[in-house]
Chains A and B, each alone.
Chain A
Amino acid sequence: MMGVFDIALALLVLGVALMVVNAAETRAAVIAFIALGLLLALVWVRLGSVDVALTEAAIGGGATGILLLRACGRLRPSVSDTPQPGLGVRAAASALPTLLTIAIASVVLSPPTPAPSLAEAAAEALPDLGLGNPVTAVLLGYRALDTLLEKVVLLLALVGVWSLTSDGLWGGAPAELADGAAKPPLLLLARLLPPFGVVAGIYLVWAGADHPGGTFQGGAMLAGMWLLAMMAGLAAPPDTGNPRLRFALFVGPAAFLLVGFAGFLIADGFLAYPPGLAKPLIVAVEAALTLSIAVIIALMVAGPAMKAPR
């Protein structure tokens, strides 16, 4: 019976993806893309990766969707002199992705038996870290270096977005997200939903130790709630030069780096955890990271500074 569900979901995902590609205008494509993101979260659930499903729902439904909508609104209507490509060109262009899909499918659907997997080794060391969720153990334990570098990359991406502002406005505030029209239903949503959203975000981070969840999912949820408040006009985007904002941005990677270097003193090496202290350290790093991720994601969506600094 699950097979019926899976086939229906696969067909729906393909259909919506085709709608993204064939949409008449950019905004329609973005809306279909948001729907595609939410449907992909269902796909991840069926593939057994609930952590990734949470991330896809949080980012694809929330931050990415809003980011693309805002970008879409800033584009000039495209007037193109070149005609739409003909059917032959489109068929040729879709041949390569189709072949690629068939190749990947044939590899994935016929793995060598027994399929190579590190799952057992990963699960064995879980009690040493005090964690129950193998995904969190990989992210913050075995491959903590990758996670640290990813967070720094996030920060660099934000700096990249900020660098789009003009010279005189550096340090100022991004443009308002609200559109100036008072909308009582939006105000109601923005007042009632964030308390639940914030608790849900913190819960996702806390539960990530033993169940699916984690810093990215929780941070994305928190960012979504801040964005909702900004969209309703209840909060104005802060000055990008604000010192407290900048502190919130780097407290996460800084805490991670601090714990990493402390590993030289109290454990085996960089980012090594002393036995027994692993879980408290990981929880502390996660708390700092969640704050930073939430602020980074929200500011990336808010965009570069558009007003002079106050």
Chain B
Amino acid sequence: MAEFLAAAAAFVLACVGLALVRLLRGPTAADSMMAAQLLDTGGAAICLLLAASGGHEAIADVGLTFAVLAALAVAALSLRVRSPKPEGGKP
């Protein structure tokens, strides 16, 4: 069972890796945000599989952290880029 789950983790990693490389090379803003979302879902899946395949149960905590913080990354990427100008004062 542990071997099977490890193999499943490797398979999901391969899928995530392929898609990630394509998305990171993609030129548009949507591609970057999709890369973050892919890591959110895929990273959580890999962590949960690693936790169940005989690893530390705390690896599921890493999966939880992935879920929350990758969403944060997508949110940060959705903000439009602008340079804030300081009001008054000297730069």
Number of B residues near A (Cβ < 8 Å) is 53
A69 to B32, CA, bound (A): 12
A residues near B9, Cβ cutoff 8 Å:
5
| Residue-wise interface mask of A (139-172) relative to B, using a CB-CB cutoff of 8 A (1 in contact, 0 not) | 0000000000000000000000000011111000
- Nearest A residue to B35 via CB reads A35
List residues of A (1-53) whose CB comes within 8 Å of B's CBs: 1-2, 4-5, 8-9, 11-12, 15-16, 19, 27-28, 31-32, 34-35, 38-39, 41-42, 45-46, 48, 50, 53
Whether the Cβ atoms of B79 and A212 lie closer than 8 Å is: no
When C-beta atoms are compared, the residue in chain B nearest to A46 turns out to be B50
- With A1-B7, A204-B61, A207-B61 in contact, is A45–B83 under 8 Å at CB? no
Number of interface residues of A (CB under 8 A): 72
Q: In angstroms, how far is the closest chain A Cβ from the Cβ of B73?
A: 5
Cα-based distance from A38 to B87 in the complex (angstroms): 36
- Identify the interface centre among B36, B62, B77, B80: most chain A CB within 10 Å of its CB: B62
A147 CA / B85 CA spacing, docked (Å)? 37
Contacts of A300 in B (CB 8 A): none
B71 touches A12 (CB 8 A): no
Cβ < 8 Å to A, chain B residues 57-91: 57-59, 61-62, 64-66, 68-73, 75-91
A27 CA to B77 CA, complexed, in Å:
10
Set of chain A residues within 8 Å of B20, measured between Cβ atoms: 12, 16, 35
Q: Is A74 an interface residue (CB 8 A)?
A: yes
Task: Tell me, yes or no, whether A221 is within 8 Å of chain B by CB.
Answer: yes
Shortest Cβ distance from residue B21 to the other chain A in the assembled complex, whole angstroms: 6
Contact check, A38 vs B75: say whether CB atoms are below 8 A apart. no
| B46 to A, closest residue via Cβ | A42
**Which of B56, B57, B89, B91: most chain A Cβ within 10 A?**
B89
Asked whether any CB of chain B lies closer than 8 Å to the CB of A61, the reply is: yes
Contact in complex: A212, B56 (CB < 8 Å): yes
Complex interface: chain A residues within 8 A of B84 (CB): 74, 175-176, 306
Check B52 for interface membership: any CB of A closer than 8 A: no
The answer, yes or no, to whether A190 is at the interface (CB within 8 Å) is: yes
Q: By CB atoms of chain B within 10 A, which of A45, A66, A181, A196 has the most?
A: A45
Q: Is the CB of A166 within 8 A of B62?
A: no
CB of B91 within 8 A of CB of A50, answer: no
B22 to chain A, nearest CB (A): 11
A46-B50, A213-B61 known; 18 new pairs, CB 8 Å cut-off, are: A31-B35, A41-B65, A41-B66, A45-B59, A54-B62, A54-B65, A57-B65, A61-B70, A61-B72, A65-B73, A69-B76, A74-B84, A169-B87, A175-B84, A207-B61, A213-B58, A228-B72, A306-B85
The 9 A-B pairs of least Cβ separation, nearest first, read A166-B89, A175-B84, A168-B89, A61-B69, A5-B10, A73-B81, A1-B6, A212-B58, A12-B17
